[in-house]
Amino acid sequence: MMDQDRIERDDFERVAAWIARYFEEPGAYRVFPQVRPGDVIGALPAAAPEHGEPFERIFADFERIVVPATTHWNHPRFFAYFATSAAPVAVAAEALAATLDVKAMLWRTSPAATELEEVTMRWLGRLLGLPKEWTGIIYDTASIAGFTALAAAREALDPTIREEGMPGRALPALRIYITDQTHSHVEKAAIALGIGRRNVVRIECDAEYRMRAGALRARIAADRDAGMKPMAIVATVGTTSTTSIDPVCAIAGVARENEVWLHVDAAYAGIAAIVPEFRSMLDGVELADSLVVNPHKWMFVPMDCSALFVKNEAIVRQAFSFVPEYLTTPDDAVNYMDYGLQLGRRFRALKLWFVLRHFGAEGIRQRLRRHIALAQEFAQWMRAEPHWEILAPHPLSVVCFRYAPPGLGEAQLEARNAAILEGVNATGEVFLSHTKIDGRYALRLAIGNLRTQRSDVEFAWDLLKSKAGVLP
């Protein structure tokens, strides 16, 4: 008779061995699986089993059904979106965090989780060169961290909204300033916070896809003259399409002149600020109100871990703290449930702590430098080859480009490059994604995976040329 409250030690060992093997051969699977929508559903029963099944059977189905239908973000030739990867040490920490299974909401429900979060956020803030008075809080994603920052901005602007709600036309329109390169979560946050998409204003960019501070200043002045209330500016360090870097210092000047909350979204690129030669992209951040960086993007921490730093943590607490009797405590300590929508929180600081200790700051810097150098090298190869066009500046580890043989119009170039993308991804050897820049279809190659070597980038380049028909 199976004891369903436990599994055998051997079963844990099998899982550990499987994980170790997976990391030894991260390229063993197709990076993009050979499946069609519905295949996984079709392979599974319509109803949950009535009676428990042995671990062996479940694990066999994991290997048979789940793994081959997975897009392998850990594959060294995953170059799509922002390439990310899990450090094995962080996976070990994640297993331990799941084992402890704390709900890190009150200090007393998880003293170690709470205090490790305080310590790791101080460490990370220091590595990023943030003022030491700033407070770091871990969320699941940059989208939720951004939502939280904007809720704090709303609270800072008008603390009555918390009680009264947003009574529509009785309030002047609250305005948020972004660009057409800003990540979509800001508009989603505007929807959820009752601000409305119409009040999210896209400020014009310069030729390198960076917000123009002068245009921002003029738009804020015009909005004030029209009786609106400027609430927040979101500057991006490392935009999603091209990794352009908004001029934080100049934007912060406009924010301070106007007493408007400045949130800096550095979800992908911010981690690179721990590398001294790239720190200047955060110059002026000390004048901002909040900053988000994602260790789950470019610091080898598995999904999910997003670090929000705020100048004034009291505003975030004022926006979100709401304590029912059953959660009151006499402890003189941080209770992280006061800083967001969530009550129960995962012990995310554990994997961050393991990663920071395992690599050390210098180990992380070395890897980021290597990724950036590889991307720059890829761009050089492309420049040296006829008919390949780089479509945007590439200050970090992402290159946007297209194959542009002469004589093709925009629509034909789009069709040609979309076909190259399909061809590359269909091989299962390399995974790329695309974007549009100024209406032009662009392929993207993003480097950020711990395991990517120069030979992987060379492989991708040869495959691209072959799918473009310029290599056999």
**Between the CA atoms of 373, 379, 384 and 386, what dihedral angle is there, to the nearest 10 degrees?**
170
What does the DSSP 8-state code read for residue 63?
I
Distant-in-sequence, close-in-space partners of 390: CB < 8 Å, separation ≥ 6: 379, 382, 383, 399, 400, 401
Closer to ligand PLP by Cβ: residue 120 or 306: 306
Shortest distance (Å) from residue 264 CB to ligand PLP: 10
Shortest distance (Å) from residue 27 CB to ligand PLP: 24
- Sheet containing strand 174-179, edge to edge, reads 135-139, 306-310, 290-293, 261-265, 229-236, 174-179, 200-203
Closer to ligand PLP by Cβ: residue 372 or 468: 372
Token code pair at residue 371: 């990724």
Residues that bind ligand PLP (CB under 6 A): 82, 141-143, 183, 185, 236, 238-240, 265, 267-268, 294, 306
Closer to ligand PLP by Cβ: residue 125 or 238: 238
Closer to ligand PLP by Cβ: residue 87 or 468: 87
Shortest distance (Å) from residue 397 CB to ligand PLP: 13
Q: Please say whether the beta carbons of 103 and 110 come within 8 A.
A: yes
Closer to ligand PLP by Cβ: residue 141 or 148: 141
Token code pair at residue 101: 């299974």
Shortest distance (Å) from residue 447 CB to ligand PLP: 15
> 65-69 long-range contacts, Cβ below 8 Å, gap at least 24?
65/40, 66/40, 67/29, 68/29, 68/30, 68/33, 68/34, 68/35, 69/33, 69/35, 69/39, 69/40
- Token pair 């991804």 in the structure block, residue: 425
Shortest distance (Å) from residue 303 CB to ligand PLP: 8
Secondary structure (3-state) at 14:
helix
Closer to ligand PLP by Cβ: residue 138 or 430: 138
Token code pair at residue 43: 């392979």
What are the start-end ranges of the H helices in 32-132?
39-42, 55-61, 88-100, 111-127
Distant-in-sequence, close-in-space partners of 267: CB < 8 Å, separation ≥ 6: 142, 183, 238, 292, 293, 294, 297, 306
Closer to ligand PLP by Cβ: residue 188 or 279: 188
Closer to ligand PLP by Cβ: residue 130 or 269: 269
128, 135, 131, 98: which is closest to 113 by C-alpha?
98
Shortest distance (Å) from residue 150 CB to ligand PLP: 13
**Distance between CA atoms of residues 434 and 273, nearest Å:** 26
Shortest distance (Å) from residue 387 CB to ligand PLP: 29
Cα–Cα distance list, 345 to 80, 101, 191, 337, 348 (Å): 29, 10, 24, 8, 8
Closer to ligand PLP by Cβ: residue 161 or 293: 293
Shortest distance (Å) from residue 192 CB to ligand PLP: 14
Shortest distance (Å) from residue 280 CB to ligand PLP: 18
